[in-house]
Amino acid sequence: MLVLLLLAQLAQALPESSWNTDQTQHFTIHHESPGSSPADDSRIEMIYEALHPTLWPLVPWMTQTKIDVYLYSSRESFLKGRFNPPPWSGGLMSDAQGEKVLAIFAPMDTAVTAHELTHLYFHTYFDEKPMSPPAWLDEGLAVMLQDEALTPPDPREKGPVLKGSIPMKDFMRSRPAQDTPSAAVTFWYLQAHSVVRFLRRGHIESSFTEFCRKIRDGSDAETALHDVYGYANLDAFEQDWLKWRPKKGKGQVLGLGDQ
């Protein structure tokens, strides 16, 4: 029994560079568990296919350059790994110093994997300048695509139903702080999802790529919205978004003023 315990501890202590590795079309997947599952490899590729239509116009390299995925055997092992994630992390990505890495743990969470992969691809697009994407755009895109990785996208789908909204001028300058109440954080993420879905799905889809390019090249949101979508100002964009966003969830009866 003692021997088995020692062997288990040694296995957990093995450095990431010694893990078993699988190659898929778009990823090099490093498994901490000796018995790697082909199902995990297939799921990551399925997530990639869900992200590809939106992200490929921004990062065409995604079809040719593989990302290193480190799949830890447990959350405990992930937290002790070489990437030093914060205690609350469910997964992380790194594009520092040219590396393209995703670190997650078993059992693999499809939503987290899609969310962090979106960040990784999107950040490398902004790194070309280098620039950082605004929080609302970065998180809104990641939340939208994590949803689409879970269920096939429906072009009629308008995203989450919001009870109220943060004024757009304040919203686009904000991001939740560590001490922000969880309900407020959730609401901020829902609005980010809704606004990005409106940009991507409520207009000609190719315009979203041009909008991101304008932001990456240094335009503020109001200027980019004017140049790409023709909005006179941020208030005009906000009014169009408020009219477009859903007022009721799927299956609910629509009343006067509902969409």
Q: pLDDT tens-digit profile of 225-243?
A: 999 999 999 999 999 999 9
How far is 120 from 135, CA to CA, in rounded Å?
14
How far is 239 from 5, CA to CA, in rounded Å?
62
CATH architecture classification, 19-127: 3-Layer(aba) Sandwich (3.40)
Q: What residues contact residue 198 under an 8 Å CB cut-off, 6+ apart?
A: 158, 159, 240, 241, 244, 245
Is residue 2 over pLDDT 80? no
Angle at 37 between CA 36 and CA 43, to 5 degrees: 130
Q: In this predicted structure, what is the pLDDT of residue 252?
A: 45
85 and 113 in contact (C-beta within 8 Å)? no
Beta-bridged to residue 93, according to DSSP, are 102
Please report, for the chain, the start and end positions of each structural domain, with discontinuous segments joined by +: 19-127, 135-244
Q: What is the mean pLDDT of the chain?
A: 90
Please, which pLDDT band fits residue 96 given cuts at 50, 70 and 90?
A: confident
Is residue 255 over pLDDT 60? no
How far is 118 from 142, CA to CA, in rounded Å?
5
How far is 48 from 113, CA to CA, in rounded Å?
10
Q: Which residue has the higher pLDDT, 150 or 218?
A: 218
Please, which pLDDT band fits residue 12 given cuts at 50, 70 and 90?
A: low
Q: What residues contact residue 133 under an 8 Å CB cut-off, 6+ apart?
A: 122, 123, 126, 212, 215, 216
Q: In this predicted structure, what is the pLDDT of residue 13?
A: 60
Residue 196's nearest CA partner among 121, 146, 233, 251 is 146
How far is 26 from 28, CA to CA, in rounded Å?
7
Is residue 249 over pLDDT 80? no
